[in-house]
């Protein structure tokens, strides 16, 4: 099915700030919205690297499919009932790339992954019950739990510091802590992130099996957010929790949005280990159906998008290496690790801040207001330990990315490095 022979130019700088029909929240966020998210207003002088969407043009087969859908001219309510091509495209992708065989009868559609998490909490837990997360982690995990009136049970990841085999900023799971939390009578759900956003781990089969064993023994359902699962470094293999632990009670979220830069189409596919859980989820979801554009995009992405993705992954690998090399040379006391998966980098600026005599608030001010680079503060991912951390999303043209790094270096180098 991989028929796209196009050579894509990921160095192309595309105007998402002023271009008609772009409506980009990443590049055009209003002052009020920015303030709500703890960010300065995004002006023409800012470089935005704070949100996980790409600044790359989508694969040509996807654009062609969307044009054909638009040319049809009628955009009423849509359904996936009887749409065998859609289900075959999704299941075929995961079987081909990861060896994961999905039963289409256990799959449903949801308009967005965060929305799917919210519906899952509503469907499978009750007010006051506990939901386990593992910080530092994507902020809507905690927000979805707390907004639903559930108890947030935080099982922090364990950071390895200068380990002999793993080096710095390599995170592992606290399995003893997970066991204790899962054993609590009020604990009913774990939200797992794999590949992990923001630390970049792709959990091994052994780690996933241990998680599944703990949760299964304690009657804890697992909701696995795996939407970064196609964004892997060379030599890294994605293992889906439902794939390695078919005995576990799990709901898996997959999506084209990160893989193919289609976040604005809100097309998440949710896979269950139990048909009864699919029914419960769909009742909680009420109405969150697909659009004709989302259907067309998913089919085109999974049937014909692989050549674009392989080129994109190669470009991302080069960009990650360029950023790591830059910081090793210009700001060597800033800690950052090459992620196993995702396209995000998790920076620890604590040693640099200590050398400059500044705190996390001043770090934020210098990067966001002086350098005019918008990242995302670590406290959003980890209120306890995230003061000196920043998350950078790297899927932008390399010229833009390296200009942002240069700006950061200029405001943080000082006289003592």
pLDDT (0 to 100) of residue 9: 98
- Environment class of 329 (CB within 10 Å of its CB; exposed 0-12, middle 13-18, buried 19+): exposed
User: What are the 10-residue block averages of pLDDT along the chain, 417 residues in total?
Assistant: 83 92 82 65 90 96 98 94 95 98 97 97 98 98 98 96 71 98 98 98 98 98 98 98 98 98 96 98 89 97 98 98 98 97 98 97 96 97 98 98 98 71
- Distance CA(155)–CA(135), nearest Å, equals 7
- Distance CA(251)–CA(237), nearest Å, equals 20
Among 169, 173, 208, 206, residue whose Cα is nearest residue 344: 169
Q: Does domain 63-306 have CATH number 3.40.640.10?
A: yes
Q: pTM to 2 decimals?
A: 0.95
Among 414, 392, 377, residue whose Cα is nearest residue 39: 377
- Distance CA(21)–CA(322), nearest Å, equals 32
Q: Name the 3-class secondary structure at 157.
A: coil
Bridge-based pairing state of the strands 344-348 and 389-393? antiparallel
pLDDT (0 to 100) of residue 38: 67
pLDDT (0 to 100) of residue 117: 98
Fold of the 31-59+314-412 domain: 3.90.1150
Among 35, 407, 391, 388, residue whose Cα is nearest residue 196: 391
**Up-side HSE of residue 113: CA atoms within 13 Å toward CB?**
25
Q: Name the 3-class secondary structure at 221.
A: strand
Note the helical H segments in 257-342: 275-285, 292-304, 306-330
**Which residue has 């049809």 as its token pair?**
72
Where do the domains of the chain lie?
31-59+314-412, 63-306
């Amino acid at each position: 099915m991989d028929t796209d022979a196009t050579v894509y130019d990921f160095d192309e700088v595309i105007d998402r700030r002023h271009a008609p029909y772009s409506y980009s929240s990443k590049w055009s966020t209003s002052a009020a919205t920015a303030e709500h998210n703890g960010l300065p207003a995004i002006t023409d002088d800012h470089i935005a690297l704070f949100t996980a969407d790409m600044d790359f043009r989508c694969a040509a087969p996807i654009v062609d499919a969307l044009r054909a859908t638009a040319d049809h001219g009628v955009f009423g309510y849509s359904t996936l009932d009887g749409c065998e091509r859609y289900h075959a495209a999704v299941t075929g992708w995961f079987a081909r790339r990861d060896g994961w065989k999905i039963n289409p009868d256990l799959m449903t559609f949801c308009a967005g992954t965060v929305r799917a998490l919210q519906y899952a909490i509503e469907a499978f837990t009750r007010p006051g019950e506990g939901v386990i997360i593992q910080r530092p982690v994507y902020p809507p995990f905690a927000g979805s739990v707390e907004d639903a009136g559930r108890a947030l049970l935080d099982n922090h990841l364990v950071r390895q510091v200068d380990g002999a085999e793993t080096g710095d900023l390599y995170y592992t799971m606290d399995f003893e802590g997970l066991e204790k939390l899962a054993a609590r009578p009020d604990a009913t759900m774990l939200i797992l992130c794999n590949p992990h956003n923001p630390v970049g781990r792709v959990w091994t089969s052994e780690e996933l099996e241990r998680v599944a064993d703990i949760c299964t023994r304690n009657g804890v359902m697992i909701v696995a957010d795996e939407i970064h699962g196609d964004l892997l470094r060379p030599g890294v293999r994605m293992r889906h929790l439902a794939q390695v632990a078919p005995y576990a009670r799990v709901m898996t979220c997959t999506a084209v949005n990160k893989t193919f830069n289609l976040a604005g189409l809100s097309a998440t596919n949710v896979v269950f280990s139990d048909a009864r859980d699919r029914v419960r989820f769909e009742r909680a979801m009420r109405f969150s159906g697909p659009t004709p554009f989302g259907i067309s995009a998913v089919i085109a992405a999974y049937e014909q998008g692989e050549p674009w993705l392989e080129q994109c992954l190669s470009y991302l690998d080069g960009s990650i290496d360029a950023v790591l090399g830059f910081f090793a040379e210009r700001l060597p006391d800033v800690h950052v690790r090459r992620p196993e998966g995702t396209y995000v980098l998790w920076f620890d600026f604590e040693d640099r801040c200590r050398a400059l005599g500044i705190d996390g608030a001043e770090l934020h001010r210098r990067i966001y207001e002086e350098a005019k680079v918008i990242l995302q503060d670590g406290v959003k991912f980890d209120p306890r330990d995230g003061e000196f951390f920043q998350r950078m999303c790297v899927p932008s043209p390399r010229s833009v990315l390296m200009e942002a790094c240069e700006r950061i270096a200029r405001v943080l180098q000082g006289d003592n490095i």
